[in-house]
Amino acid sequence: MRVETVEFVRGVTSLSALPAEGLPEVAFLGPSNVGKSSLINALLGRKGVARASKTPGRTRELNFFRINGRAFFVDLPGYGFARMPAAEQARILGLVESYLAGSPHLRLLLLLLDCRRTPSARDLELLGWLRANRVPHAIVLTKADKLSRSQLHRQAALVRKALAGEAGAPDLLHFSAPEGTGRKELWAAIDAAVAAAERAGA
């Protein structure tokens, strides 16, 4: 998809406020400091669309961006490390889970993991939840420029083994915002999800 227009629509704190246009949705989720904002901005070829913060946990809404009038990118709050009251963490978690399980227009969730780290217990719990709730998803290893090619290959094998479930080890996409590594492959996955939704009339 060639990005021609990007429009911030709204930050959503309740499912009743979701956009009513019915466009296919591609959502982005990952632990705090995984490079989610950098990835979104690099994909769109624009600076500052998704706002990165030095303080983890600043994103507390579902932020909707309309892309080419054709699809929504949904920037979800990160998980882990956020310094906030337990009640606020629970509220955000409930909002994200309700959206992922309940949005009729979500066509792809991109789950971002730092390529330098093995999946945490929280990552594994989340992945199990996504599988149990049949949320369509792909896994992206971010910050690929931080490792050499051989290191990335070895680390990806470890991550794939850790994430293996009943369906077997998942495919992994690699991404580097500074170098643009994986941008083409990631857009191919997004385009396929959006095109399938359009063919289905959703």
Considering the domain 6-199 in this protein, what is its CATH number?
A: 3.40.50.300
What's the half-sphere exposure (Cβ side, CA atoms, 13 Å) at 57?
13
Segments in the chain below pLDDT 70: 52-59, 81-83, 166-167, 202
pLDDT at 7: 95
pTM given for the model? 0.92
What is the rounded distance in angstroms from the CA atom of residue 74 to the CA atom of residue 103? 12
Question: So what's the pLDDT on residue 59?
Answer: 64
Domain boundaries, the chain: 6-199
- Beta pairing class for 6-12 and 62-67: antiparallel
> Which tokens hold the place of 41?
């901005």
Tell me the three state secondary structure of residue 179: coil
pLDDT at 127: 93
Q: What is the pLDDT of residues 85-100, one digit of tens each?
A: 778 888 888 999 999 9
